[in-house]
């Protein structure tokens, strides 16, 4: 283990904990802890949304998928994600920021759904909170796997040791500082990730003699590596593009929209977020692509470590340490957001709403903090298998959220006729479809391969519309609130 790498890592981790301590002093109530008091600027909101969205799969999973599959056919995934992220900023961000404030100043997604549909039964709040806890546990687990792989490869630790060390650091600053700590650290981590995904592929390609030589080397290994359609059926392309649908239902991204200072900040945040997204995604793809040529004579055993190995062979230890910190940044920025949203579901949507309605703000903040630790522990146990794939775990959770919440969020913001029964039906149908479809394809009952978010999203959308139309119309109060948010 190089001293430079170790020192760089220590400085980075101490800096993140320092931010957590600073945010701790600014966190006095539950709104501060889970939404930062709605005071995020456009730059912080955009980069923290991007960083918390992308996670370790951007630097481990996606380059690994390109390297393992042998070429450019994974580009469809990047195209789908870039389009989905842009459309989410374009259509959902402004309306959600406005509507959550109008709807009794809602601070979580379950809180918004209950207030939006005047659901006194608490069903919407409880079901949506359960969906969040279920899929975020898998999502957080994927980040833990990524962190363990990073520490394992960089410092020669055992997988288990690496898993626990990474988890302790992330849980510490999330536990202390809540949303502000998460957003500020994500902003810094987003910049680190962006720079790493620009620098590594550029240096790798230059070492190979330039872009033309890199393409020629890959083509000499196998010409189909250069074909974006190689090995791709229509369903396979649809499945990769469909990752973009997931954006509309990711609670950790939607909360960034809710936390903006004003709807006037949305256009600037959208521009920053889209530029970050496009460069980061294609940087990851070109890293994996360059790896095909660079490691042709000595193939990498674990494809998801291609970025890590590049940082080791291309740069001196000090620069390598910074670039490896970018992977840790990607991991931390997503896990912290997921832990925070999950803890808010426990504190706001179970503890306060059902168990103790008169709980003090200080008590709720501590319930949130304890929930962070408990959920992290469950995720660690799920991540304890060293053969776990980052991309597989992410894809399952991404589909679950996209199908369960995507159609519900979009229609709740743009369709006045929607009611609570439609919202409930959409969530349940979307979540159940993803789980069942995944099991049926894994067991071979369904013989064709289609990403589970596609049927989940479609069936959930239909369920929302059909059930809303056959049950009672929204009240006059709901319609007036809808028009107020729209205005």
22-50: average pLDDT: 70
Residue 386, pLDDT above cutoff 80:
no
Q: What is the pLDDT of residue 209?
A: 92
CB 250 within 8 A of CB 92: no
193-211: average pLDDT: 91
Residue 433, pLDDT above cutoff 70:
yes
106 vs 117, higher pLDDT: 117
**Most trustworthy range by pLDDT among 59-73, 175-189, 285-299:** 285-299
68-85: average pLDDT: 86
Cα 126 off chain centre by? 22
364 vs 259, higher pLDDT: 259
Q: What is the pLDDT of residue 30?
A: 57
> 260 - beta bridge partners?
40
Cα 149 off chain centre by? 19
Q: What is the pLDDT of residue 267?
A: 94
Write the burial class of residue 68 (CB in 10 Å: 0-12 exposed, 13-18 middle, 19+ buried): middle
Write the burial class of residue 295 (CB in 10 Å: 0-12 exposed, 13-18 middle, 19+ buried): middle
Cα 245 off chain centre by? 13
Q: What is the pLDDT of residue 436?
A: 93
- DSSP letters, 246-304, are GGGG-HHHHHHHHTBS-GGGHHHHHHHHHHHHHHHHHHHHHHHHHHHHHTSSS--SSGG
* CB-based burial, 184-210: b 16+ in 10 Å, e otherwise: bbbbbbbbbbbebbebbbebbbebbee
CA distance 200 to 291: 11
Closest listed residue to residue 129, CA positions, set 350, 332, 329:
350
pLDDT in tens, 435-471: 999 889 888 788 778 999 999 999 999 999 999 999 9
pLDDT in tens, 99-111: 998 988 888 888 8
Q: What is the band of 45 on the pLDDT scale with cuts at 50, 70, 90?
A: confident
pLDDT in tens, 275-318: 999 999 999 999 999 999 999 888 888 888 888 889 888 888 88
17-42: average pLDDT: 66
Residue 177, pLDDT above cutoff 60:
no
Q: What is the band of 87 on the pLDDT scale with cuts at 50, 70, 90?
A: very high
How is the chain split into domains, by residue range? 3-387
CB 227 within 8 A of CB 215: no
pTM: 0.84
Please name the residue ranges forming H helices in 70-158. 75-87, 94-102, 109-116, 123-155
Q: What is the pLDDT of residue 415?
A: 95
Q: What is the pLDDT of residue 73?
A: 82
Mean pLDDT of the chain: 83
CA distance 332 to 174: 10
Residue 130, pLDDT above cutoff 90:
no
Q: What is the pLDDT of residue 184?
A: 73
251 vs 18, higher pLDDT: 251
Residue 389, pLDDT above cutoff 70:
no
Residue 18, pLDDT above cutoff 80:
no
pLDDT in tens, 330-373: 676 677 677 777 777 787 777 877 777 777 777 877 887 788 78
- DSSP letters, 202-224, are HHHHHHTTSHHHHHHHHHHH-GG
- DSSP-derived letter for residue 231 is T
pLDDT in tens, 221-249: 888 888 888 878 899 899 999 999 999 99
Characterise 38 by phi-psi region: left (phi > 0), alpha (psi -120 to 50), beta (else): left
Q: What is the band of 174 on the pLDDT scale with cuts at 50, 70, 90?
A: low
69-78: average pLDDT: 82
Q: Which CATH superfamily is domain 3-387 in?
A: Sodium/glucose cotransporter (1.20.1730.10)
Residue 152, pLDDT above cutoff 90:
no
CB 147 within 8 A of CB 162: yes
């Amino acid at each position: 283990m190089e001293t430079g790498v170790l020192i760089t890592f220590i400085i980075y981790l101490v800096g993140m904990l320092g931010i957590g301590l600073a945010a701790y002093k600014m966190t006095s109530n539950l709104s501060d802890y889970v939404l930062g008091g709605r005071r995020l600027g456009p730059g912080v909101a955009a980069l923290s949304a991007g960083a918390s969205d992308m996670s370790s799969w951007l630097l481990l999973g996606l380059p690994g998928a390109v390297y393992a599959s042998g070429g450019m056919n994974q580009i469809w995934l990047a195209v789908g994600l870039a389009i989905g992220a842009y459309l989410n900023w374009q259509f959902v961000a402004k309306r959600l920021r406005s509507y959550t404030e109008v709807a009794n100043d809602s601070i979580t997604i379950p809180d918004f759904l209950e207030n939006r549909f005047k659901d006194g039964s608490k069903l919407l709040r409880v079901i949506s909170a359960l969906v969040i806890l279920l899929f975020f546990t898998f999502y957080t687990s994927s980040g833990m796997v990524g962190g363990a792989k990073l520490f394992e490869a960089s410092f020669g630790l055992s997988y288990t040791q690496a898993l626990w060390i990474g988890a302790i650091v992330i849980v510490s600053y999330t536990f202390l500082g809540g949303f502000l700590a998460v957003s500020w650290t994500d902003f810094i981590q987003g910049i680190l990730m962006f720079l790493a995904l620009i620098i590594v592929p550029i240096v790798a390609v230059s070492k190979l003699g330039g872009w033309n030589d890199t393409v020629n080397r890959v083509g000499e290994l196998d010409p189909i590596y250069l074909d974006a359609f190689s090995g791709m059926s229509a369903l396979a392309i649809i499945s990769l593009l469909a990752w973009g649908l997931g954006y509309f239902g990711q609670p950790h991204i939607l909360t960034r929209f809710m936390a903006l200072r004003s709807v006037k900040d949305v256009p600037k945040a959208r521009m920053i977020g889209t530029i970050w997204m496009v460069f980061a995604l294609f940087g990851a793809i070109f890293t994996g692509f360059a790896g095909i040529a660079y490691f042709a004579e000595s193939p990498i055993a674990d494809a998801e470590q291609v970025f890590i190995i590049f940082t080791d062979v291309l740069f001196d230890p000090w620069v390598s340490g910074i670039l490896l910190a970018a992977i840790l940044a990607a991991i931390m920025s997503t896990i912290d957001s997921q832990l925070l949203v999950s803890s808010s579901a426990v504190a706001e949507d179970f503890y306060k709403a059902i168990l103790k309605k008169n709980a003090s703000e200080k008590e709720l903040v501590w319930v949130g903090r304890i929930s962070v630790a408990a959920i992290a522990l469950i995720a660690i146990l799920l991540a304890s298998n060293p053969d776990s794939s980052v991309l597989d775990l992410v894809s399952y959770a991404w589909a679950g959220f996209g199908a369960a919440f995507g159609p519900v969020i979009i229609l709740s913001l743009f369709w006045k006729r929607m009611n609570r029964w439609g919202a409930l039906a959409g969530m349940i149908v979307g979540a159940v479809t993803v789980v069942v479809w995944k099991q049926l394809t894994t067991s071979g009952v369904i013989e064709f391969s289609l990403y589970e978010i596609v049927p989940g999203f479609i069936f959930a959308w239909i369920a929302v519309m059909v059930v809303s139309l056959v049950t009672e119309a929204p009240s006059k109060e709901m319609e007036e609130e809808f028009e107020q948010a729209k205005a």
